[in-house]
Amino acid sequence: MNVQEQYFGSIEGQPITQFELSNDPGMVVKIINYGATITSIQVPVEGDIREIACGFDTLEGYFSDGYKANSPYFGCTVGRYCSQIKDAAFSLNGKKYKLAPNAGENNLHGGRVGFDKKLWQATTVEGDHGIGVKMVLHSPDMEEGFPGNVVATVTFMLTDDNQIQISYEATTDKETPLSLTNHTYFNLSGFEETIENHVATVHTDQRLVLDETGAATGGITRLDEKPDDLRKGKRIGDVHAAINDGFEHFYVFDNPSFELRRTALIESNEYGLKLEVSSTEPCMLLYTGKYTSDDLKRENGGQFGKFRGFCCETHRYPNGPNIIGSPGTTTSPGKKFTSKTHFKFITTNH
């Protein structure tokens, strides 16, 4: 196992470092400390190395006009609070907090300059079963409208059984909403085709109800016999056809103790690769890139775009600060926000 560091460019005179993690089977994960962003995931499949993540090989890719206009958040760490907060506002301890309305009238992914647009302090780490990089960010009180001085940490570990293990921790000196996630888009075919031939299994029969703005209402709908009931696994394209739309579904799990549990399995049988997702989180957004611009591609020509990448974003309830009883939405002084999500890649015979 090995970690290599290399210069990836600079922002306002601050150098950006890319950390290249490689394990003994030959899997490679590349992460930059700008936005704590996964830029590349390369998995060995039948003797070939397959790129399966949306991202860029140069810093310029993340600052192109097309990328900024589309804002797909490829591979980044999202915070302070991921997904939408209704009307860009919430009340806490008798005080109303106003956020930036950067998704219509709602707040999205922590605001205009969220954790995904910050320079994190990074160090390499070693564990019993892998190697990785730990990134730390200090977010001052009232940044983007959120209360509390927050210290957030995200640690990426690569193991020899082809797992990316992501662990989050955060502390605060004032009670504040916290919900962190990783926004990697995957295509198990290596972008040879869309992800519509992938088969998705999600281990729950519940999802959150969204209003017309895309914010969660707090309502939960049961999925028995509905097209988006994925407990038995369905071809993504078939569900797209049945619902006449792409996935932007917030599946919820009965996990009151925040234990690490399997949440989803995505399989590309034709291309011999599957992704097993485990998380401590009570919610997971399955998103199939229905808004991703077809103008985006990797420097080597790998084509991104609509339905060419899926996300399994594990987190607290979207709009949680405005939903009574939403699990683990705020973190208080003296307490620690913790979260874990594991992405395990498994090759199959096909």
**Nearest CA to 56 among 287, 304, 273, 289?**
304
Structure tokens at 240: 């797209």
Tell me the three-class secondary structure of the chain, residue by residue: CEEEEEEEEEECCEEEEEEEEECCCCCEEEEECECCEEEEEEEEECCEEEECECCCCCHHHHHCHHHHHHCCCCCCEECCECCEEHHHEEEECCEEEECCCCECCEEECCCCCCHHHCECEEEEEECCCEEEEEEEEEECCCHHHCCCCEEEEEEEEEECCCEEEEEEEEEECCCEECECEECCCECCCCCCCCCCCCEEEECCCEEEEECCCCCEEEEEEECCCCCCCCCCCEEHHHHHHHHCCCCEEEEECCCCCCCCEEEEEEEECCCCEEEEEEECCCEEEEECCCCCCCCCECCCCCECCCCCCEEEEEECCCCHHHCCCCCCCEECCCCCEEEEEEEEEEECCC
Nearest to 305, CA basis, from 313, 295, 319, 315: 295
Which of 109, 183, 198, 315 does the annotation list as catalytic?
Answer: 183
Catalytic-residue membership of 342? no
* 169 catalytic per annotation: no
Q: Please tell me which residue in 144, 281, 313, 342 is annotated as part of the active site.
A: 313
- Alpha carbon 221 to its chain centroid, in Å, reads 23
For residue 271, what are the CA distances in angstroms to 149, 217, 268, 306, 346?
46, 38, 5, 20, 11
Residues with catalytic annotation? 183, 313
